[in-house]
Amino acid sequence: MSFEEIPHTADVRFRARAPTLDGLFSEAVLALMQVMYGPDRKGDVERTVSLDADDRESLLRDFLSEILFISDAEGLVVSTASVRTDGQHLAATLTGESFDPERHSCGTEVKGISYSGLCIKSDANGYMLDIVFDV
């Protein structure tokens, strides 16, 4: 995993790194699922997501918000996310399993994805993301 939790006073803040923007979006999904359900996530159920937004920060927020909705409405616990994005358009295949209260109850409920502190940067080493999950 190339994400880490960073101290935050009230919510959960993460920093993720990846060599590509696609990889960064995938890491953000894994960080969200880690917070919500813990590390025991498997599965072979697939779900696709397609989104458009004006910029990459809005696209990431919308994408993670869609995953929150899918997780809540369909009970899908995502284990992997294969993402293709150019920063304004996104197509993703999510792989996961149905929620199992015996294995997935060790996490924290995430109520939303915050715009506050949301920042995607890039340099010669790739991409870095700071994001806050409202809990």
Domains of the chain with bracketed CATH: 3-134 (3.55.10.10)
Inter-residue contact 56 to 90 (CB < 8 Å): no
Joined together, the tokens standing for residue 97 give 């399993």
Contacts of residue 95, Cβ cutoff 8 Å, sequence gap at least 6: 43, 44, 45, 46, 78, 79, 80, 81, 82
pTM here?
Answer: 0.92
Checking if the pLDDT of 1 tops 60, the result is: no
The per-residue pLDDT for range 68-102, each reduced to its tens digit, is: 999 999 999 999 999 999 999 999 999 999 999 98
Q: What percentage of residues in the chain have a pLDDT greater than 90?
A: 73
Going through the chain in order, the beta strands assigned E by DSSP cover 3-6, 12-18, 45-52, 76-85, 89-98, 112-123, 126-134
DSSP helix/strand/coil, 30: helix
